[in-house]
Amino acid sequence: MEYGIFTVGDVTTDPTTGRTPSEYERIKNTVALALKAEEIGLDVFATGEHHNAPFAAPANPPVLLAHIAAKTERIKLSTATTLITTNDPVRIAEDYAYLQHLAEGRMDLMLGRGNTGPVYPWFGRDIRDGISLAIENYALLHRLWREEDVDWEGKHRTPLQGFTSTPRPLDGTPPFVWHGSIRSPEIAEQAAYYGDGFFSNHIFWPAEHTARMIALYRTRFEHYGHGTAADAVVGLGGQVYLARNSQDAVKEFRPYFDQAPVYGHGPSLEEFTSATPLTVGSVAEAVEKTLGFKEYAGDYNRQLFLVDHAGLPLDTVLKQMDLLGEVVAELRRHGSPEALAVSTGSTTVG
Amino acid sequence: MTSIVIVTAGLSDPSSTRLLADLLAAATARSLPQADVRVVELRPLAHALTDHLLTGFATGDLVDALEAVAQADAVIAVTPVFSASYSGLFKTFFDVLEQGALDGTPVLIAATAGTARHSLVLEHALRPLFSYLHAVVVPTGVFAATEDFAGDTLHGRVERAAGELAALVNARPATARLDQFDRDVVAMGSFEDLLNG
Complex ipTM value: 0.82
Chain B interface mutation, best of A186, A219, A224, A268, highest count of B Cβ atoms under 10 Å: A186
Name every chain B residue with its beta carbon within 8 A of the beta carbon of A206: 57, 59
Which residue of A lies nearest to B186 if distances are taken between CA atoms?
A185
- What pLDDT, on a 0 to 100 scale, did the predictor assign at position A71? 98
Q: Are A43 and A303 in contact (CB under 8 A)?
A: no
A194 in reach of chain B (CB within 8 A)? no
A272 in reach of chain B (CB within 8 A)? yes
Q: How much of chain A, in percent, has pLDDT values that exceed 90?
A: 83
DSSP state, B43?
A: G
Asked whether the beta carbons of residue A131 and residue B54 sit closer than 8 angstroms, the reply is no
Which residue from B54, B184, B188 is facing A263, i.e. has the nearest CB?
A: B54
Asked whether the beta carbons of residue B185 and residue A185 sit closer than 8 angstroms, the reply is yes
Q: How far apart are CA A338 and CA B68, in angstroms?
A: 46
Asked whether the beta carbons of residue B51 and residue A271 sit closer than 8 angstroms, the reply is yes
Q: Are A12 and A22 in contact (CB under 8 A)?
A: no
Chain A interface mutation, best of B57, B66, B180, B186, highest count of A Cβ atoms under 10 Å: B57
Name every chain B residue with its beta carbon within 8 A of the beta carbon of A218: none
A345 Cα to chain B: minimum distance (Å): 36
B197 in reach of chain A (CB within 8 A)? yes
- What pLDDT, on a 0 to 100 scale, did the predictor assign at position A64? 97
- What pLDDT, on a 0 to 100 scale, did the predictor assign at position B189? 85
Q: How far apart are CA B6 and CA B25, in angstroms?
A: 7
- What pLDDT, on a 0 to 100 scale, did the predictor assign at position B109? 98
Asked whether the beta carbons of residue A139 and residue B181 sit closer than 8 angstroms, the reply is no
B184 in reach of chain A (CB within 8 A)? yes
Q: How far apart are CA A338 and CA A346, in angstroms?
A: 10
A289 residue type, one letter = K
Q: How far apart are CA B56 and CA A209, in angstroms?
A: 12
Name every chain A residue with its beta carbon within 8 A of the beta carbon of B195: 135-136, 139
**CA A71, A74, A80: angle at the middle one, nearest 5?**
80
B191 in reach of chain A (CB within 8 A)? yes
B57 in reach of chain A (CB within 8 A)? yes
Asked whether the beta carbons of residue B191 and residue A205 sit closer than 8 angstroms, the reply is no
Name every chain A residue with its beta carbon within 8 A of the beta carbon of B53: 266
A206 in reach of chain B (CB within 8 A)? yes
Asked whether the beta carbons of residue B55 and residue A267 sit closer than 8 angstroms, the reply is yes
* Side-chain half-sphere CA neighbours of A51 within 13 A: 17
pLDDT surpasses 70 at A163: yes
B34 in reach of chain A (CB within 8 A)? no
H or E element in which residue A79 lies: strand A76-79
- What pLDDT, on a 0 to 100 scale, did the predictor assign at position A349? 41
Cβ contacts of A153-161, under 8 Å, gap ≥ 24: A155/B197, A156/A125, A156/A129, A156/A132, A157/A88, A157/A89, A157/A90, A160/A90
- What pLDDT, on a 0 to 100 scale, did the predictor assign at position B91? 98
Pairing, β A150-152 against β A160-163 = antiparallel
A198 in reach of chain B (CB within 8 A)? no
Q: Are A272 and A241 in contact (CB under 8 A)?
A: no
Provide the mean pLDDT of chain A.
93
Going by pLDDT thresholds of 50, 70 and 90, the confidence category of residue A342 is low
- What pLDDT, on a 0 to 100 scale, did the predictor assign at position A350? 38
Chain A interface mutation, best of B50, B181, B183, B190, highest count of A Cβ atoms under 10 Å: B181
Going by pLDDT thresholds of 50, 70 and 90, the confidence category of residue A347 is very low
Going by pLDDT thresholds of 50, 70 and 90, the confidence category of residue A65 is very high
pLDDT surpasses 60 at B97: yes
DSSP helix/strand/coil, A326: helix
Asked whether the beta carbons of residue A190 and residue B184 sit closer than 8 angstroms, the reply is no
Going by pLDDT thresholds of 50, 70 and 90, the confidence category of residue B179 is confident
Asked whether the beta carbons of residue A135 and residue B197 sit closer than 8 angstroms, the reply is yes
Name every chain A residue with its beta carbon within 8 A of the beta carbon of B184: 184-185
- What pLDDT, on a 0 to 100 scale, did the predictor assign at position B197? 74
B156 in reach of chain A (CB within 8 A)? no
Q: How much of chain A, in percent, has pLDDT values that exceed 70?
A: 96
Q: Tell me the residues of chain A between 136 and 165 that have a Cβ less than 8 Å away from chain B.
A: 136, 139, 155
pLDDT surpasses 50 at A245: yes
Name every chain B residue with its beta carbon within 8 A of the beta carbon of A259: none
Q: Which residues contact A121 (CB under 8 A, 6 or more apart)?
A: none
Name every chain A residue with its beta carbon within 8 A of the beta carbon of B55: 204, 262-263, 266-267, 272
Asked whether the beta carbons of residue B54 and residue A266 sit closer than 8 angstroms, the reply is yes
B195 in reach of chain A (CB within 8 A)? yes
Q: If you average pLDDT over residues A14-21, what whole number do you get? A: 96
pLDDT surpasses 70 at A340: no
